Amino acid sequence: MGFFDDICNRHWCEELECACGTNVVLFTADGFAFFGLLDRVDDGILFLLPASNEELVIVFTPGGAVKHEELSFIDICIIVALSKNVGENPFSGECQD
């Protein structure tokens, strides 16, 4: 991970690297939430691709707006929470029994 091992929590970096190749929901310190496939971690930057069964990365802004991106780059040091192996869009608003 390079110099980010010294700046960020080494265990958090390892946890994120282990989640590569899976659908994730990431929450950031600035209030954003991302849903997508964690492609890779490269020198402190996460590369997020569209999740399975999705065409775009889903981004929720702090104001509640929903945005879509083809690819998201996220600084590893602003991530505060991670949910791994998410099967479908958890923010779709559809309840299933």
| Domain spans of the chain, in order of start | 4-84
| Residue of 50, 29, 42, 49 whose CA lies nearest to 2 | 42
Alpha carbon 42 to its chain centroid, in Å, reads: 14
Q: Looking at domain 4-84, does it have CATH number 3.40.50.2300? A: no
Residue 90, sorted as left (phi over 0), alpha (psi -120 to 50) or beta, turns out to be alpha
Pair type for strands 23-28 and 57-60: unpaired
List the structure tokens of 55. 């065409």
More confident residue, 5 or 17: 17
Record the pTM.
Answer: 0.83
Q: What is the mean pLDDT of residues 6-21?
A: 76
Percent of the chain's residues with pLDDT above 90: 46
